[in-house]
């Protein structure tokens, strides 16, 4: 008996340099899922999504290539995992339209990510407002079972599930209802100021930043002013939260004990984080250099990925268009 594989799907916007929030929140879990032979992983560069906030064509193209390089350098294996650009799958736009015709405006108006951007003064375009419908199309067009994401995407996954269920209710069983995979320990990676690490908050540490500049940033991570000799509560310390991302369980226990004993300076923890960071990405940094030196190979990976993704998208779209009465 052949058991069909579970499809795992996720995307990243090429809206700036990828950071530790992207890495620990989504890329690392996604890369671990690629190792399970029962999974077939589809990961993509969400360039249509980034277009909502990137009006510069050269920048959009450049950042798209960089996201692909970052993902490959961090361990994405193109022999096992399908890596592609969202915009290479034209069918996405057709499904987005069909889903738009089912989406109540109120559902979009309630989306936090949109409301957050508007509350920070961004003048929204219709693309930004409709963003969750495009994201639902991204997921539903590949019959995706599992979607590894950080917690900030949870509501978008709920919208996706809502739309799939609404579609199935109206037109009969047609779309697979996906599940979000959100790991508690890395659901919200904190930034330099303790808020969620984000490009928009300018509180991020790049995965492949210049090491000196990254060290400076780490030294700037906000802490309280408890004196060195006093015991400290690791669970209220942003530095400890970041250290935990990199360290092994025994090292975490040791660091916790050092906090609680007293005599540990925040400067020492910052230095430990920097060393962990450097060590963690050292091999990936080397791989990234050789990948970057071979742009044709990168284009070929993305082209082959798009071909595989498109074959699935065409089938699902055909099913959808037949269900709604267009085909
Ligand atoms: P994006 O590009 O903002 O982020 C990519 C992934 O990184 C996660 N992430 C974080 N996780 C934990 N802590 C953080 N500080 C942190 N910052 C970012 C995000 O949760 C995300 O998983 N809308 C998506 C892209 C997208 C997509 C999709 C994702 C488009 N279509 C379909 C999944 C499926 C986004 O803007 O992610």
Per the domain annotation, does 280 fall within a domain? yes
For residue 302, count CB atoms less than 10 angstroms from its CB and return exposed for 0-12, middle for 13-18, buried for 19 or more: buried
Average pLDDT value for residue range 223-251? 96
Q: Are residues 147 and 235 in the same domain?
A: no
Tell me whether residue 285 is in a domain. yes
Q: What is the CATH number of the domain that holds 134?
A: 3.40.50.620
pLDDT value of residue 4: 81
- Tens digits of per-residue pLDDT, 232-245? 999 999 999 999 99
Do 255 and 171 have their domain in common?
no
Distance CA 32, CA 10 (A): 13
- What pLDDT shows up at residue 249? 97
* Gap from CA of 22 to ligand 1 centroid (Å): 7
Q: Specify if 202 maps to a domain.
A: no
* 115 shares its domain with 133: yes
Total number of domains in the chain: 2
Residue nearest to ligand 1 atom 37, measured at CA:
12
Q: How far away, in angstroms, is 79 Cα from ligand 1 center?
A: 24
Whether 32 and 15 share a structural domain: yes
Residue 230 pLDDT grade (very low, low, confident, very high; cuts 50, 70, 90): very high
Residue 282 has pLDDT above 80, yes or no: yes
Q: Name residues whose C-beta falls within 8 Å of residue 327's C-beta, 6 or more positions apart in sequence.
A: 318, 321
Report yes or no on 204 lying in a domain: no
Domain-embedded: residue 1: no
CA distance 318 to 327: 8
Inside any domain, residue 200:
no
98 belongs to a structural domain: yes
Alpha carbon of 249 to those of 182, 243, 244: distances in Å? 20, 11, 8
Give residue 121's pLDDT: 92
pLDDT of residue 327: 87
Range 151-169 average pLDDT: 98
Is residue 9 within 8 Å of residue 42, measured between CB atoms?
yes
pLDDT per residue over 37-66, tens digit each?
A: 999 999 999 999 999 999 999 999 999 999
One domain, residues 82 and 164: yes
- Looking from the CA of residue 148, the nearest atom of ligand 1 is 22
| Mean pLDDT (whole number) for 197-214 | 95
- The answer to the question of residue 244 being in a domain is yes
Report pLDDT digits (tens) over 103-116. Answer: 999 999 999 999 99
Please compute the mean of the pLDDT values over residues 169-189 and round it to a whole number.
Answer: 98
Mark whether 58 and 98 lie in a shared domain: yes
> What is the rounded average pLDDT for all residues in the chain?
96
Same domain, 272 and 320: no
Task: Name the residue with the closest Cα to ligand 1, atom 27.
Answer: 11
163 and 246 in a common domain: no
The β-bridge partners of 181 are 148
* pLDDT at position 3: 52
Residues assigned a catalytic role: 117, 196, 199
CA distance 307 to 164: 25
Residues 183 and 303 in one domain: yes
274 plus 143 within the same structural domain: no
Q: Answer yes or no: do 282 and 304 share one domain.
A: no
Domain that holds residue 71: 6-188+295-324
pLDDT above 80: residue 169:
yes
Same domain, 58 and 37: yes
Q: Which residues line ligand 1 (CB under 6 A)?
A: 9-13, 21-22, 25-26, 46, 49, 135, 138-139, 147, 149-150, 152-153, 156, 186, 188-189, 196-198
- Give yes or no for a contact between 285 and 210, defined as CB atoms under 8 angstroms apart: no
- CATH assignment at residue 285: 1.10.240.10
Tell me the average pLDDT across 258-273: 97
In this predicted structure, the answer to whether residue 187 has a pLDDT above a threshold of 60 is yes
* DSSP SS3 for 182: coil
């Amino acid at each position: 008996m052949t058991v069909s594989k579970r499809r795992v799907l996720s995307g990243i916007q090429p809206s700036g340099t990828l950071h530790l929030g992207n890495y620990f929140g989504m890329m690392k879990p996604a890369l671990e899922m690629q190792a399970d032979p029962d999974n077939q992983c589809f990961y993509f560069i969400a360039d249509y999504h980034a277009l909502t906030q990137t009006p510069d064509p050269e920048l959009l193209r450049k950042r798209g290539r960089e996201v692909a390089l970052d993902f490959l350098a961090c361990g994405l294996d193109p022999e096992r995992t399908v890596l592609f650009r969202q915009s290479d799958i034209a069918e996405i736009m057709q499904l987005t339209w069909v889903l738009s015709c089912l989406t109540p405006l109120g559902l979009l108006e309630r989306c936090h990510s949109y409301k957050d951007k508007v509350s920070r003064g961004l003048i929204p375009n219709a693309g930004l407002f409709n963003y969750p419908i495009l994201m639902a199309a991204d997921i539903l067009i590949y019959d995706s079972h599992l979607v590894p994401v950080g917690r900030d995407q949870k509501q978008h996954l709920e919208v996706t599930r809502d739309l799939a269920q609404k579609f199935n209710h109206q037109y009969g069983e047609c779309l697979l209802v996906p599940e979000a995979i959100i790991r508690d320990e890395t659901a919200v990676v904190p930034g330099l100021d303790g808020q969620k690490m984000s490009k928009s908050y300018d509180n991020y540490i790049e995965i492949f930043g210049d090491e000196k500049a990254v060290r400076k940033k780490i030294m700037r991570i906000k802490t309280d002013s408890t004196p060195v000799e006093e015991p400290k509560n690791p669970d209220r310390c942003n530095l400890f939260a970041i250290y935990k991302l990199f360290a092994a369980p025994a090292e975490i226990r040791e660091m916790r004990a050092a906090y609680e004993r007293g005599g540990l300076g925040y400067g020492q923890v910052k230095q430990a984080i920097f060393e962990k960071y450097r060590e963690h990405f050292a091999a990936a940094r080397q791989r990234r250099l050789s990948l970057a030196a071979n742009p044709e190979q990168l284009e070929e990976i993305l082209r082959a990925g798009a071909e595989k993704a498109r074959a699935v998208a065409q089938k699902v779209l055909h099913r959808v268009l037949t269900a709604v009465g267009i085909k």
